[in-house]
Copies of this chain bind each other. A is one copy, B any other.
Amino acid sequence: MSEAAAATAAQRAAAPATAASQADGPLGVIAGRGALPRLLAEAARRQGGDAYIVALCGAAEPWVEDWPHVWCGFGQVGRIFSSLRAAGCRRVAFAGGVSRPALVTWRFDLQALGVAWRMARLLRAGDDGLLRGVGAIFEERGFELIAAHSILGDLLAPAGALGRVAPSARDLEDLARAQEIVAALGRVDVGQGAVVAHGRCLGLESVQGTDAMLGFIAGDPGRGGAPKRAGVLYKAPKPGQDLRFDLPAIGPITMEKAAAAGLNGVAMRAGQVFLLDPAATIAAADRLGLFLYGAEEAAAP
């Protein structure tokens, strides 16, 4: 990513929340997996607007049935745009995880064929490249892309120790090493997380995600030579990532999996990672004896 593009992404991230207004119509929520899209729709309604859900088949969850919605396959680009227009949406936001579909399994509609070659190329890029490209396709069609965190700012992790347990000096060393590793991964548009224990890198997040990485560590009795109980999971967006898409999220389940993997705690970049249910996440950390820590600044590379 160029520096100019990075600066633009940073500006977008810093821009204040676009106030919902009736003139903009409901917020179009392009909904993937997990709780984040539901939280986003609820927040839009709380803030005086409404939400219309584009539920991605195979990703979005049953809660969408309680909202005005349409189910769409990834390849049904025409259906996505016409549904959003019919619902009066001018602003759209992406939220929730999406497994990269194999392009061959998509059902394309006519409009999708028009962008298929771009999609095919995008699918070979990293996640951030893919999302940027998809975002551009929406913008070209006149939609304004809204960052989920401009509406869900309350859920962004604050700085410092959030529960009863604080990281030790050794945990903070592991955190600094994990920050360095996550930054390096992010620069080549790979995962948003890593686990380090006593200086040893026990796990690196690939497309299967954080839970799979923690499961890998939990299933490895040797732990790469690390002590039985040690280490930190660190989550952060990629350096220069367009923060309108795919901010990492941590919830109570992350804490359970981190405990099962024998870690001392979980850390995340403060202000750039969602806590899906802050009270429940902190309660889980306390119950499991883990720290939950918002790190102010990524380590310099």
Contacts and interface: CB of A to CB of B under 8 A. Distances in A.
A250 interface: no
Interface of A: 99-102, 104, 123-126, 173, 177, 180-181, 184-185, 187-188, 190-191, 195, 198-208, 212, 216, 220, 222, 224-227
A222 B184 CA distance: 26
A190 B181 contact: yes
Q: How many copies does the complex hold?
A: 2
Given A181-B188, A184-B188, A102 B198 contact: yes
Contact of A220 (B188, B195, B212, B224): B212
A226 B102 contact: yes
Contact of A124 (B198, B204, B207): B198
A71 to B, nearest CB: 19
Contact of A207 (B99, B101, B180, B202): B202
Given A124-B199, A173-B124, A199-B124, A207 B188 contact: no
Contact of A123 (B180, B190, B198): B198
B204 A220 contact: no
A206 B224 contact: yes
Contacts of A227: 102, 104
Nearest to A220: B208
Contacts of A216: 212, 216
B184 A208 contact: no
Given A123-B199, A185-B204, A202-B207, 18 more contacts: A99-B222, A99-B224, A102-B198, A102-B226, A123-B198, A124-B173, A125-B199, A126-B199, A181-B185, A184-B185, A184-B190, A191-B204, A195-B206, A200-B206, A203-B206, A204-B204, A206-B224, A208-B222
Contact of A224 (B177, B184, B208): B208
B181 A207 contact: no
Given A184-B187, A222-B99, A224-B99, A202 B208 contact: yes
A180 B203 CA distance: 19
A227 B100 CA distance: 11
Contacts of A177: 124
Contacts of A173: 124
A204 B126 CA distance: 14
Contacts of A190: 181, 184, 201, 204
In order of increasing CB-CB distance, the 3 nearest A-B pairs are: A207-B224, A124-B199, A204-B204
A237 B53 CA distance: 47
B181 A225 contact: no
